[in-house]
Structure 1
């Protein structure tokens, strides 16, 4: 059994309604258990299973959806 891990990631370009769209993108990534995006701070918070989650897909998935993401910080 894997323990979950958490990360934060800065996300630019959220705009109106963008937080929900970004949350949906993050939530659909394999291994993601929970995702939340705060539009006020332009930060995404992701809880994931490290055995199923591929960190390299995170920023590219957000970029395909029209967002610019900074480097994630694993907590």
Structure 2
């Protein structure tokens, strides 16, 4: 399985609870292998299988958790 890495700038993260919420939301997306959420920079790095998850599903997961994708 070939994985791809992408990153998004996420607005609205203020605490470790926000980090956990984003990790949980992304983990629920089929095809997501790993996530790295940096509270200080607002950056979320995602490693995923592009044959199972698309950019829109990743962005929608973050939006669904209550955060804005920049």
TM-score (norm 2): 0.88
Q: How many residues align?
A: 69
CA distance in 1, matches of 2:61, 2:37: 15
Alignment match, 2:22:
22
Q: Aligned to 1:3, what secondary structure does the other structure show?
A: coil
Instruction: Find runs of 4+ consecutive structure 1 residues off by over 2 angstroms.
Output: none
Q: Which runs of 5+ in 1 are unaligned?
A: 71-75
Q: Which runs of 5+ in 2 are unaligned?
A: none
Instruction: Give how far 1:60 is off.
Output: 1.8
The 5 Å alignment of 1:1-75 reads: 2-16=1-15, 17-70=17-70
CA distance in 2, matches of 1:61, 1:50: 15
TM-score (norm 1): 0.83
CA distance in 2, matches of 1:11, 1:24: 15
